[in-house]
Structure 1
Amino acid sequence: MFPTLSLLRLGALSGLACALGACGGTAAPGAVRQAAAGLDTLVPQWMARTGVPGVAVAVVYRGETLYARGFGVRRVDGDAPVDADTVFQLASLSKSVGATVMAGQMQGGTSAIGWSTPVQHLLPGFALGYAETQDNARLTLGDLYAHRSGLPEHAGDLLEDLGHTRAEVLQRLRHAALNPYGSYAYTNFGLTAAAEAMAQARGVDWATLSAQTLYQPLGMARTSSRYADFAARENRAWGHVQAGISAASYGAEPARYAVQQPPRQPDAQSPAGGVSASAADMARWMALVLAQGRWQGRQLADAAALQAAMTARPGGAYGYGFNVGPDPHGHPSVSHSGAFLLGAHTAFILWPQADLGITVLTNAQPRGLAEAIALAFGEQALGDAAPGAPSADWLAVMQEKMRGLYRPLGALAGQQPPAAPLPPQPLAQYAGRYASAYYGGAEVQRSGDALDLVLGPARVRYRLRHWSGDQFVFTPEGESAPPGSVSAVQFSLDGAVPAMQIEYFGEDTARGSFARVADGQ
């Protein structure tokens, strides 16, 4: 499943580790300034290699914004320039920002909430389908922010694509097929459940809580966790996509981008992917995190809770909303990447021992550019490469690591239809209403000499193409479907309960089976 976030564990890019003696982390002021100045040349060069229309970069060092600049244009068919105040969709950088909001709500008091607070204490209606009922009682906010609830990878994303609201997605997660409790699997809506629990405990919605806890006191005037605020900004970056992109062609030459229409609207998973911010605002956030939650003499986030968020859980490389681990040269770092297939790619890296951080925001689907800029800057600033001489072509490295994100889904992807297919039954036999406890209702509608599959509150419509016998296919589209994906739909009409199995909707939950609903029900 193409993730709403392209999660990249940056520390895993190299075999270097702290055990090799490369775990320094200090940064000489001269080297940091020289590395920042080099961005003026590096960023345009790598934008030309990728075709990405717009980029904004911010660097924080020793509590100050050392560098904040924009490059390129907000949308490819215009000439409005990107600057340090241009607002970008952050995608999954939202998780780290939201973890800071959570830490801001964990400061002292007799009724304090912490990462170990059971989610059901705050959100009593939330439950997952554990075989052991006590697992729901012990599921904590931290479990959900660390992606260790047992939910399968990206559970809930397809529900969002079908138009279900946040409340509906969280309710339906109880029907997801679970991995063992405590095992790691990255999921936007599991984390969203923890944030929603905190917001409901405080009696406000998540976007308001984020603004009151973090954005307003930190002076992040252009930051919001509400899509309508982003859409209303005059100085905002539009998302861009590349037509005809594939795993084979990805990275081969500069992309020709077009403005994504409609724009990605991530309110349902706002805590996990719905923040929008400028590079200048992100500089303030990085400074706060590097200062253990302190800003201009005020403690805006609990230092212990924030440190816990930036500490890897046992046996893993993820804390609470942060990737944790050494960078490619062995320096301790925390980081996150964010990506929307529909037009955004972002990254940040913090080196706490050096009191140094960089955020890179781009307005195009992932091309490896954001992480590459951050890594190239980091090794220059920390003295791991000579000025102007990166130790690797980080753009090529990151593009290769991201190639797999563009592999189409489906066992029939790239295959030609059978030359002599078995005939279908009369199309009217397939038409009707179907239902899934997880996905809700679906309809198969007769449309002349064809069938349409209609799903979800958004009434997402797919034209079914006959493949062979009782098997049909369609081309899924949207945030979760890389170009070229194909889904099989297998009808089983001869059993006691007629049903259809939709391959695409079985990827993340093993719940792709829809049973026929009798007339009148």
Structure 2
Amino acid sequence: MSTDKSHDALPGRRRFLAAGLALASAPAFGLSKGPAPPDSASREFDAFVLEQMRQARIPGLAVGLARDGATRFARGFGYADIDSRRMVDVDTVFHLASITKTVTATAIAWLHEQGRLDLDEPVARHLDFPLHHPRHRGAAITARQLLMHTSGISDANYYRIDFRRPGRDADLSLHTFLRDYLVPGGEAYSVEGCFSASAPGAAWGYSNVGYAVLGELAARVSGEDMRELTRRELFAPLGMTSTFWTLADTPAARSATPYLTTDNAYLRLSPIGSPDWPGSMLRSSIADLTRYVAAAANGGATADARMLRTQSMAELLLMRQPAQLPAWLSGQGLGWMQARLGDRTLANHWGGDPGVFTAAYLDPNTRCGVAILCNVTATDASKAAIKNITLRLLSRPDEMY
């Protein structure tokens, strides 16, 4: 799950669309990447998903199921763009929002595997700007704390200022953003707004800025932009050819249009860019994301590629209970979180931003994973729909292939 910001869009970033879209009549679109499921099971599942979409007023949705390191199916439903009636398919690109954090965590774990980074050493020794908690100068901030949201770096000023840009990538570089936010004298710096009262390692506090630091740390340790590192060492081996770090690289013709629902309309939003890209800016298709989820649920490997050693993947999914962990979580791992879903306890991460709501669930015990992408701002109804679809898949996975 995520505590991403999800502010209403500004009037200049949206326009009214026709009200009353009949989602229940939208045909399923998108072919399975694995063996085709039985016709009866396929029809039943399609009807179930479309009903969940209708109830939650979700314009477009993509869903993937992985098991034993392989994609069992990936499908699209509804509209990627309402005006043009362009349908969602398995290659439609969605904004992943905070699921991005699990990818950044994987990159950090890979660097740890390579012996380039100790998760428990002070990260400040690798950076070219000072990083310390101004209220607890004797306590170093480590990569493990950043991964677990226990670094003491606060998002208060991050939400107050809103660094996002509609329709384009961020103006600020990651490095400039971090210096402005974390270094005394920076334009976004304040003790109260940038750091919590808790010492590093003492308490949980969700931090988008903390994950931005991890992206900069990866660059300083590896000698290259983390985006290039992940393209070569993660996306390419897994065959993820429709995964993009920037809006400039994302093909508009294949992108899901983000929407906000009102009582009687769908409001079209602009995609957003933000300088804290290591925590929120990745975009991907369900075909690609399901490959990634397949590896994560299967000890770090798919049938033909390995992204992490089994021990490293297990460490990402080792759940702890730091102080002040919110009630909706039962554990915090490195990047991945843990929560109850029905009668199961699953590793997961949600993502949300204007016009997008995403979720990924892992069940390492059964080596199953589910990914779901929606092009609508999260609501209570859409959250319930995503949970219902995930439970349906994990309780009856054998029916789907």
Query: Normalised by the size of structure 1, how large is the TM-score?
Result: 0.60
CA distance in 2, matches of 1:61, 1:369: 28
Establish whether residue 357 from structure 1 lines up as the match of residue 363 from structure 2.
Answer: no
CA distance in 1, matches of 2:342, 2:317: 18
CA shift for structure 1 position 286: 0.9
What is aligned with 2:225? 205
User: Letter of the aligned partner of 1:179 in structure 2?
Assistant: A
CA distance in 2, matches of 1:325, 1:343: 24
Q: Aligned with 1:49: secondary structure?
A: helix
Q: Could you give the per-residue CA deviations for residues 188-216 of structure 1, whole angstroms, max 9, x where no partner exists? A: 11111022111221111121122112111
User: Letter of the aligned partner of 1:113 in structure 2?
Assistant: L
User: Letter of the aligned partner of 1:271 in structure 2?
Assistant: P
CA distance in 1, matches of 2:255, 2:288: 13
CA distance in 2, matches of 1:134, 1:82: 52
User: Letter of the aligned partner of 1:169 in structure 2?
Assistant: F
CA contact (8 A) 1:105 1:213 kept: no
Number of corresponding residues:
341
CA shift for structure 1 position 311: 1.9
Q: Aligned with 2:64: secondary structure?
A: strand
What is aligned with 1:195? 215
What is aligned with 1:179? 197
What is aligned with 2:267? 258
User: Letter of the aligned partner of 2:111 in structure 1?
Assistant: Q
What is aligned with 1:434? none
CA distance in 2, matches of 1:322, 1:36: 30
Residues 345 and 102 of structure 1: CA distance in aligned 2, closer, same or farther (over 3 Å): same
What is aligned with 1:72? 78
Residue of 295, 313, 320 corresponding to 2:334: 320
Unmatched 5+ residue regions in structure 2?
Answer: 7-36, 166-170, 184-189, 326-330
What is aligned with 1:54? 60
What is aligned with 1:286? 293
CA RMSD, Structure 1 to Structure 2 (Å): 2.8
What is aligned with 1:332? 345
CA distance in 2, matches of 1:95, 1:37: 34
Q: Aligned with 2:371: secondary structure?
A: strand
CA distance in 2, matches of 1:45, 1:166: 41
User: Letter of the aligned partner of 2:348 in structure 1?
Assistant: S
CA distance in 2, matches of 1:35, 1:351: 22
CA contact (8 A) 1:141 1:194 kept: yes
Q: Could you give the per-residue CA deviations for residues 56-88 of structure 1, whole angstroms, max 9, x where no partner exists? A: 111112222222111111112111111011010
CA distance in 2, matches of 1:367, 1:35: 28
CA distance in 2, matches of 1:154, 1:292: 36
Residues 67 and 229 of structure 1: CA distance in aligned 2, closer, same or farther (over 3 Å): same
CA contact (8 A) 1:347 1:370 kept: no
What is aligned with 1:250? none
- Bigger-Rg structure (1/2): 1
Q: Aligned with 2:292: secondary structure?
A: helix
User: Letter of the aligned partner of 2:110 in structure 1?
Assistant: G
Unmatched 5+ residue regions in structure 1?
Answer: 7-30, 246-252, 388-521
Q: Aligned with 1:291: secondary structure?
A: coil
Q: Could you give the per-residue CA deviations for residues 119-150 of structure 1, whole angstroms, max 9, x where no partner exists? A: 11221414144233222xx2111111211111
Q: Aligned with 1:332: secondary structure?
A: strand
Establish whether residue 169 from structure 1 lines up as the match of residue 177 from structure 2.
Answer: yes
What is aligned with 2:121? 117
What is aligned with 2:187? none
What is aligned with 1:367? 379
